[in-house]
Amino acid sequence: MSGPRSGFGLIELMVALALGMLVVLGMTQLFASSREAYLGQQSSAMLQEDARYVLSKLAREIRMAGMLGCLSADHIVDAPAAFKTPVSWQGGVLRMISSDGGLQSAKPDWTVVSDCTTVARAYPGARSSLAPGETAFPLRELFYRFEQGQLKVGPNKAVLLDNVAAFDVSFGVADSVSAHSVLRYERHLAKGSRLRSIRIGLILRDRAGRAKDQAYQLEVALRNRLA
C-alpha cells in the first residue's frame, strides 16, 4: 500500500496563481500611481521655477520703467518720441523703457547724458565720452509679447517662456496726479502721470497634463513717476 501523497492540487494551484496575479497587479498600480504623482510634482515644480524666473525679471524692469535719468523727459534735448510713452500695453505687447543698469554688456538703445542740474541730452546707442560732472544713463526699449502660447521678448521675438496659457497686464492708477496710493486697476492706461503700479497675470500649463494650470499674479510699484 502506498503512503499518502503530498503537494498542491489543481484547484489550490489556480487559487495561488490568482492571488499572485492580484498582488502583482496591486503593486503595479501602486508603482504607476507613485510614478504619476512624482511626475506631476516635478512638472509643477518646473512651472513654478519658470514663473519665478520670468516674474522676477519683469519685477526688476517694471521698477525701473520710466527712469530716463535724473531730470524729467521735458528737460531732455533730442529725446525720441518713445520717451513720451515709456509704458504701454496694446495688442498683447507690453512695452517699457527701462534703465539698462543690469545689461552693461549689451548695447543700449539710448543713452541720456546729464549734469543732473539743468542739462540732459539723449544719444542713440552707447555713449562713452563724458564731460566732467556728467552722468550717463543707458536705456533700453523692452518688449514682451504673448503669442501662440509663448511669452516672447525683444524686437526679434525670442522665446522667453513656453506653455503660457494666459498673460495679462493691468495698470494701478491713482485718483489724481499728486496722489500716491492706487485707486483701481485698469486694462488701458489713459494718463501715464497717474500710473503707480503694474499688475501681471500669468497662467502656465503643463503640456503633458500631469499638473494643473498654475496661476500667478505680480504687482510691482513703479519707482519713477511718468509724465
Task: For 133-187, give the secondary structure using H, E and C.
Answer: CCEEEEEEEEEEEEECCEEEECCCCEEEECCEEEEEEEEEECCCCCCCCCCEEEC
- Predicted pLDDT of residue 15: 76
- Predicted pLDDT of residue 125: 92
- Predicted pLDDT of residue 210: 84
- Predicted pLDDT of residue 104: 47
- Predicted pLDDT of residue 2: 55
Strands, sheet with 164-173, edge to edge from the N-terminal-most edge strand: 184-186, 164-173, 195-204, 214-221
Whether 10 maps to a domain, the answer reads: no
Count of domains for the chain: 1
Its domain, for residue 117, covers: 28-221
Whether 75 maps to a domain, the answer reads: yes
For the chain, residues with pLDDT lower than 50 are 1, 103-104
Whether 21 maps to a domain, the answer reads: no
Whether 197 maps to a domain, the answer reads: yes
Whether 6 maps to a domain, the answer reads: no
DSSP 8-state code for residue 75: G
- Predicted pLDDT of residue 29: 80
Whether 189 maps to a domain, the answer reads: yes
The C-alpha atoms of residue 172 and residue 71 are separated, in whole angstroms, by 24
Whether 4 maps to a domain, the answer reads: no
